[in-house]
Each structure stands twice: as structure tokens, then as C-alpha cells.
Structure 1
Amino acid sequence: MEWFGGSYKENPFIMFSANHLIMLAFLLIISAWIFLFRTKLRAKDWRSSEIGLAILLTLFEVTYHVWLIRNRIWHVSDSLPLELCSISLLLTIILLLTKKKWVYEILLFTGLLGATQALVTPLLYYDFPHFRFLHFFFTHFMMIWVPLYFTWVKGYRPTIWSVVKLLLFLNVLLPIIMAVNKLVNGNYMFLRHKPESASLLDYLGPYPNYIFSMEGLLIALSLLIWLLFRKKAGNKPIRPKGLPR
């Protein structure tokens, strides 16, 4: 049983096809729009929209799991929300609902790094207009746009301690994911082997070396994001609404 678009054999996703490139262009256009219109966006109260978006993301994710179950392709080995992007989606929803700074600090890095890599080299089988195509791009877009919105519009900024928090968060998470992988014969976060499709991991060496390469690359890229998004001297601070004084 399929929903919204037929089987992947009838309409397979092709990397860097016209549909894929359109989605990447859309990501860049809306990201630029958030930045260019950040001053006008600050003038409005978006709280109801933030909560509505959190509810919509939750509904999309629940629907996705219902779709997996109805098509008998939900498996404990690969359908639990334990991938980095699944965790980023959960953090996106939590940030929209709570506006917690520590959630933003982690999501800024996992969203910009993990979701961006996933969008460039998607592990996806269904093309537009299939539900899975829409679910994949909508949720991954929000993992990027929401932290950008909280940065440019709400005034949140990372510090060097944000990078430390990210590393602590991931290094506490990794042994848990590895234990789950062993228990359910899974490959969450690609900690047992590389994905079958092309990805950045192809350039990071064989197993298990690429895991250590990933961590080194994560540190380097996280420091780059911190340098790009940190509060710079001379900039007028924007007080994030909802943060304690």
C-alpha cells in the first residue's frame, strides 16, 4: 500500500535531478529571505506561528511513521528516531515550543551541518509529489530555517561554549546509539558502516576510521559556524524574547 505518489519504482528519486536542484535553490532563497528581511520580521509577534509550525512538524513526523507501518516497512533496525536528522527534528520542535537557548545551541550546529549534508546527498527513494519526498524536504528545511530564524530574527547567538555543549551532547549520545545498533542490528548515525548511497563519508576513510574523521570534521565545521554566527563586537545586541534577564 502506498500513499501520495505511488511506489519508488514508478517514480524514483534521482540525485541532482531538476526536482532536487529546485529544492536546493528553494532552501537558499528562503534562507536569504530570512536574513534580508530580518528587521521587518522582528517587528511582528510570531509566537502563534512558532507553535503552529511545531504542531505541523509533529503531525508530519507522526504521519511518516504511520505511512511506514501501513506499508509494512517500519523496522526497529532503521525506523527509530535515532538518526542525527531525526534528533535535530525533535530539537526543532522543542525549540519552537520552549525557546530554550541550550536547544538552539545544539540545533544550530546539527541542523546546519547534518540537515544540509542530508539535503545535498539525500538518502531518499521517492520523487515529487510522493509524501516521503514532501516529508523529507519540509522537515529538513525546517531544521535549517528555524535556527537561522532564531539567530537573525530572535537574536540568539552561539558562544564557544555552545561548541563544547554540542560535543558533550553528541559524545554522550554516541555510545547509546552504538548500543542500540548492536541490540537491533541497526546502523543509526552510520556508526556500523557507511550509507549505500553517495555521501560525505565516502571521503573520510574506511570503517571505523571515518567515525573519528567525522568527529574531527564536526569540530572544525562547528568552530566555523561559531565564527560566522557569534555575536560580533560593535553589533547592537537584540534581546531574544522569552529569555530570562
Structure 2
Amino acid sequence: MDWLEASNEKYTFEAFSISHITVILLLFTISGFIFLYRTKLGQSGLRKTEWVTALSLLAAEIGFHLWMIQNGIWTASQSLPLELCSISLFLTVALLITRCYVFYELLLFTSLLGASQALFTPVLIFDFPHFRFFHFFYTHLIIIWVPLYFTWVFGYRPTLSSVIKVFLFLNTLLPIVMGVNRLVMGNYMFLSHKPESTSLLDSLGPYPWYILSLEGLLAALSLIVWILFRERTADGPFRVNK
């Protein structure tokens, strides 16, 4: 059984419903809080909070897989953590635990280009207060807030080499995910075919050419993220702390 068929009607999610808009408002509210109180947060000694957040992400992801197994809807073709947001989740955990700049370089781009899109156009059928609703939005919100936290509080900043690194990272994953897709008859990262529903991919050409279009889009959007978050001039307010 397709796990999407496991929906209960009383939990059916609708995009831009009250619950969805509340999550979007929460995204901007906490993001604004992190920016406005970045100095105080930097002086607060939040190392334990970072560890707790990392462990909570792992617990949420494990809980999600246990929930799928319990309901008989876990399948290798749909449930492996090979989507971009799943990869971003593990990058988030690694960054929180190690504070390693390399993880920040990758996560800033994958979160802002992937998790943010997922938040505004969620592929979700379970609404509040279902477990899946909380899992989906909690993990995606944290994936976005963490790189913003490291940017504004710790002064981490992407460089042009960061753009190259994320491009190489994702292109290294690409043949691996395509190989897994063939083995399990999956469609992770939409590398086997376009989604059934209307999406941005519809305007990027037929299979497999839309994958090349995605490469160009990735490069362009990554450059935009770099421009927005790059290190400022010597007179600016930010410094890179690697």
C-alpha cells in the first residue's frame, strides 16, 4: 500500500490552511528573533541546546520511520532518507554537534533551496494535530533555522568555493541516488520521473533533460544565496567565524 493512501480524512492537510499559514508565520517570527537577538544568543552559551536540538531531530526521524513500519507503509521505494530534505536533516545534526564550517557550507544551500520550498509547497496529507504534521514541519523549520543561526549568531558566511562544494556534493549524490532508484524502483529526488502532480519540473523539459535544467537552476539559485549571505565588506557588521 502506498503510504499516501494511509490518510485519515479528519487529518487531511490543505495548503495555506490555518495550520499551514501558522507554520509559515512561525518560520518568519523565529527567523526574525534569531536575527534581532543574534548578539545575545551568541553570549548565551547554547551548546547544550544545540545538542538537544540535534538529538531531537534524530528522534523525530527515527519516530517517523517507526510510525511507517508500525502502519505497514514503510517501503524501500519511498521511505529511504534520500530526499534532499532528509539529507539536509543529517547535515543539520552534523553541524549542530560539530559546528564544522563545511557542514554549514552545504546546509545553507540545501536548506534554503530545498527545505524552504518544501515548507511553502508541502507534499503532505496529514494535518494538525497528526504526528506526521508535527514531524514534517518541525524538521523542516529546524533545517532552515539552524544555518540562519550559524550565519547571524556565529558569523559563518558562504564563499564562492561554497557554491562549488555544494554543486559537487549534490552531483556526487546524483549517480548514487539514481542507482538506488533503479534497484528499488523509486523516484528519490525526482530523478526517475517527474512527480504526478503539477510542479516546477513541468517547465524544465521532458525526462531526462529536466535533470540538466535542474543543474542550471541549482547553479543560478546557489549564486543568489551566496550573494545574499556572503561576507560583508570590512565596514559591515559580519565576520566569518569558521
TM-score per shorter chain, which class?
over 0.9
Secondary structure of 1:73's partner? coil
Counterpart residue number, 1:80: 80
Counterpart residue number, 2:128: 128
Counterpart residue number, 2:103: 103
CA contact (8 A) 1:151 1:157 kept: yes
Q: Give, as a single letter, the amino acid of the residue that structure 2 aligns with 1:232.
A: R
Distance (Å, rounded) in 2 between the aligned partners of 1:51 and 1:156: 19
Classify 1:105/1:239 alpha carbon distance in 2 versus 1 (closer, same or farther; 3 Å).
closer
> Which sits farther off after the overlay, 189-198 or 131-140?
189-198
Counterpart residue number, 1:3: none
Counterpart residue number, 1:91: 91
Q: Which aligned pairs between 1:109-124 and structure 2 lie closer than 5 A?
A: 109-124=109-124
Residues 208-233 of structure 1: per-residue CA shift (max 9 Å, x gap): 22211111111111001101111111
Shift of 1:7: 4.1
Shift of 1:200: 2.6
Counterpart residue number, 1:52: 52
Counterpart residue number, 2:3: none
Distance (Å, rounded) in 1 between the aligned partners of 2:174 and 2:40: 41
CA contact (8 A) 1:121 1:198 kept: no
Q: Give, as a single letter, the amino acid of the residue that structure 2 aligns with 1:35.
A: F
The runs of at least 4 aligned residues of structure 1 exceeding 6 Å deviation read none
Distance (Å, rounded) in 1 between the aligned partners of 2:51 and 2:11: 34
Distance (Å, rounded) in 2 between the aligned partners of 1:24 and 1:51: 25
Residues 84-115 of structure 1: per-residue CA shift (max 9 Å, x gap): 00000000001000111111000000001100
Aligned-pair Cα RMSD in Å: 1.4
Distance (Å, rounded) in 2 between the aligned partners of 1:102 and 1:18: 37
Q: Which aligned pairs between 1:1-245 and structure 2 lie closer than 5 A?
A: 7-233=7-233, 234-238=235-239, 240=241, 243=242
Secondary structure of 2:174's partner? helix
Secondary structure of 2:133's partner? helix
CA contact (8 A) 2:231 2:240 kept: no
Residues 177-222 of structure 1: per-residue CA shift (max 9 Å, x gap): 0000001000000101122334332332322222111111111110
Distance (Å, rounded) in 1 between the aligned partners of 2:17 and 2:45: 38
CA contact (8 A) 2:157 2:240 kept: no
Secondary structure of 2:63's partner? helix
Q: Give, as a single letter, the amino acid of the residue that structure 1 aligns with 2:141.
A: F
Distance (Å, rounded) in 2 between the aligned partners of 1:51 and 1:141: 17
Distance (Å, rounded) in 2 between the aligned partners of 1:15 and 1:45: 38
> Which sits farther off after the overlay, 42-51 or 205-214?
205-214
Shift of 1:237: 4.8
CA contact (8 A) 1:31 1:148 kept: yes
Shift of 1:32: 1.4
Secondary structure of 1:66's partner? helix
Identity %: 58
Shift of 1:48: 0.5
CA contact (8 A) 1:158 1:230 kept: yes
Distance (Å, rounded) in 1 between the aligned partners of 2:135 and 2:181: 25
Q: Give, as a single letter, the amino acid of the residue that structure 2 aligns with 1:42.
A: G
Classify 1:203/1:22 alpha carbon distance in 2 versus 1 (closer, same or farther; 3 Å).
farther
Classify 1:116/1:198 alpha carbon distance in 2 versus 1 (closer, same or farther; 3 Å).
farther
Give the number of equivalent residue pairs: 236
Name stretches of at least 5 consecutive residues in structure 2 with no aligned partner: 1-5
Distance (Å, rounded) in 2 between the aligned partners of 1:238 and 1:43: 16
CA contact (8 A) 2:82 2:189 kept: yes
Classify 1:165/1:18 alpha carbon distance in 2 versus 1 (closer, same or farther; 3 Å).
same
